[in-house]
Structure 1
Amino acid sequence: MNFKEVIGIDVSKNTIDVCIHLSEKSSEFANTNKGIKGFLGWVKEHLKDLSGVLFVYEHTGMYSHTLTVVLQEMGCHYYIIAPALDIKRSMGIVRGKDDQVDAKRIALYGYRLREEITPTKERFESITTLKSLMTLRSKLVRQLSAHKTTLKEQKGIYRAKDFKFIFETQQRLIHYLTKQIKSVEAQMQEVVNSHIALKTNMDLMLSIKGVGRQMATTMLIVTENFSKFDSSRKFASYCGVAPFAYQSGTSIKGRNRVSPLANKNIKSLAHMCAVSAIQHNSEMKIYYQKRVEKGKSKMSTLNIIRNKLIARIFAVIQRQTPYVDTLRFVA
């Protein structure tokens, strides 16, 4: 879609700084429901028709949530830049930080790419809820891990009778956090079960040996129920498991390697799924053992398995049929 005008928005905790690109009109509004509606009223004063206008802003977590909700309610076209690294790389060397200047840069970025940009699709409210629950779970898991590590180290150094109160307090915290993590996971499953499309895709992913509930839930969140990525190759590149060539001229011919520009969280989960797959999936186990016996790198082989699992996830979603392990039908 060819947009006639682009509005850049720099979102912060309390305010949004905005810039209409062609007319170079700038202003600042409160980052509240009322403030954002006031912003849209201000836009209509300068641009009568919003059908050809694209609102562009960076993904800033919960700070951009209200803006997204209001734009959806008003039927506006918007594009969320994620990750923000895209725009940082497009600006070159920049000194200092100014919200109004950032809004102008975002507007310019959007205007240059207006013919290529596909507006961000409306997100299910269930996805937003799932994402918040997953963030909460991650925080609780980190706290649980910290308490377990501290308790283990203290028990190896201090005498129990001298540190009885500290040991018991930490043990109670560990018990409490474990209980809360299970509660959050139950709530996440309830959210998935309440939405037929999420439930269907979750079950399809879980039909693949090696793919666990955490990986499947994260896939639903990151891909927004598979609406943001249309192929496994694009997703593999996004999460840093797709190998890229490393060569130049005739002198530099290095090995293919994965890029450090990646979603490290999903990459870590994919790695754990690959490790699980070679333990519980006979096909993957045989493949892994054969490559290792040939002297191939273990990490390189694990990366291939990560790619295979991602490809299978996208295959079952696109076909809308569970994965079938054909190896068990072989005589």
Structure 2
Amino acid sequence: MQSEVHVGIDVSKFTLDVFILEVRSHRRFKNDSNDFPAILQWIEKCTKYQSAFICFEHTGVYSMALAAFLESQHIVFAMVSPLEIKRSMGIVRGKNDVVDSKRIAEYASRFRDKIVMTKLPAKDITRLHFLLTLRDKTARTLTGYIAAVNEVQRGIGHEELPELFASYDAVITALKSEIKKIEAAIKHIINTNPDLKTSFKLITSLKGVSLIVGTYMIVYTCNFTKFATWRKFACYCGIVPFSHQSGTSVKGPAQVSPIANKQLKRLLHLAAVSAASHDPELREYYIRRQSEGKSKMSTLNIIRNKVVARAFAIVKRGTPYVNIRQYAT
């Protein structure tokens, strides 16, 4: 008798399709916390009290309630990237919720020894994550309104339609105010958590690491505990170049992978641009490589990696970054 059965769950907004691989059984439940205990009861009934390994896709807010419930019940589970599951399937045809739950269960069985069990981050990190998401959406909306005003100004003057521009100004002012409130809430959470406060103070001693960049790094590294090395985090951010060669015909330059956290990659690019302007050592490095005819983007990508490496180093060391060049004679 097997000591463990593999359960795949296809998560959608309103429903959960649950498939138990070993007994080839499927059942649909509501994606509601009141229905979660029934899932465990059904699995227990079908598997005759064997332990279950539950696997489902990480679908953001739709899967968070289920994950929180499973962790509270001390159930072993894994939230896996949908892309990772999709690429493991090979060539497949057809798609529906029942089939997807079966494929997730098969993935859990096939790669059980490689799947990393999910451990939810601390509540403060989760709160910061939601606030960052809200700020990002608000900032994009603000950018859209500012662009709209600039477009309208090309064809209509303020004096021709003052009501229109007054409305635009009111919305833009309100959005800027909301962004400041969100940032204040982010600072409050960080300042009231000693561990987060310490890490944040350390990494923001680096040139280019601001409130938002620093908070994103803390959230996605679970306060620098999720990734064993800075290189693994850099790979996750999509800033590590990989070779592009095959035989004698394909000999391309090393390239970064498009499979990445695009938001972190964008923010680290902004951090690198700022560091290249305000950090004396990195600025000299940037100018020297430019004079040698090196690519601007490849140089900035190196600086992105340097920023990440420094952040991990100073958190591990527990002391702020020190520019030793200022002590050079």
Task: Write out per-residue CA displacement over residues 176-233 of structure 1, whole angstroms, 9 at most, x where no aligned residue.
Answer: 1100100011111112222222222111111111111111111122222223211111
- Separation (CA, whole Å) in 2 of partners of 1:219 and 1:47: 41
**Shift of the alpha carbon at 1:35?**
0.7
- Separation (CA, whole Å) in 2 of partners of 1:269 and 1:122: 24
Residue matched to 1:28: 28
**Shift of the alpha carbon at 1:48?**
5.0
How many residues align? The count is 328
Q: TM-score, normalised by structure 2?
A: 0.95
With over 3 angstroms needed to count, the CA separation of the structure-2 counterparts of 1:209 and 1:48, relative to structure 1, is farther
Q: What secondary structure does 2:112 align onto?
A: coil
Residue matched to 1:57: 56
Matches within 5 A, 1:141-152: 141-152=139-150
**Consecutive unaligned residues in structure 2, runs of 5 or more:** none
Task: Write out per-residue CA displacement over residues 44-100 of structure 1, whole angstroms, 9 at most, x where no aligned residue.
Answer: 2233556x4221111111111110111011011111102x11011111233332111
8 Å contact from structure 2 (residues 190, 196) kept in 1:
yes
- Separation (CA, whole Å) in 2 of partners of 1:10 and 1:256: 37
- Comparing 167-176 with 86-95, greater Cα deviation is found at 86-95
**Shift of the alpha carbon at 1:266?**
0.6
Code of the residue aligned with 1:318 in structure 2: it is: K
Residue matched to 1:73: 72
Does residue 48 of structure 2 align to residue 42 of structure 1? no
Task: Write out per-residue CA displacement over residues 126-162 of structure 1, whole angstroms, 9 at most, x where no aligned residue.
Answer: 2221111111111111111111111122223212222
The alignment-based identity, stated in percent, is: 42
Matches within 5 A, 1:69-218: 69-82=68-81, 84-218=82-216
- Separation (CA, whole Å) in 2 of partners of 1:11 and 1:246: 36
Q: What secondary structure does 1:161 align onto?
A: coil
**Consecutive unaligned residues in structure 1, runs of 5 or more:** none
- Separation (CA, whole Å) in 2 of partners of 1:23 and 1:79: 20
- Separation (CA, whole Å) in 2 of partners of 1:21 and 1:193: 47
Q: What secondary structure does 2:7 align onto?
A: strand
8 Å contact from structure 2 (residues 23, 47) kept in 1:
no
**Shift of the alpha carbon at 1:305?**
0.4
Code of the residue aligned with 1:46 in structure 2: it is: C
- Separation (CA, whole Å) in 2 of partners of 1:115 and 1:181: 44
**Shift of the alpha carbon at 1:3?**
7.3
Code of the residue aligned with 2:278 in structure 1: it is: H
Q: What secondary structure does 1:68 align onto?
A: helix
Q: TM-score, normalised by structure 1?
A: 0.95
Q: What secondary structure does 2:18 align onto?
A: strand
- Separation (CA, whole Å) in 2 of partners of 1:254 and 1:269: 27
- Separation (CA, whole Å) in 1 of partners of 2:311 and 2:5: 38
With over 3 angstroms needed to count, the CA separation of the structure-2 counterparts of 1:115 and 1:279, relative to structure 1, is same
With over 3 angstroms needed to count, the CA separation of the structure-2 counterparts of 1:87 and 1:64, relative to structure 1, is same
- Separation (CA, whole Å) in 2 of partners of 1:193 and 1:53: 40
**Shift of the alpha carbon at 1:317?**
2.2
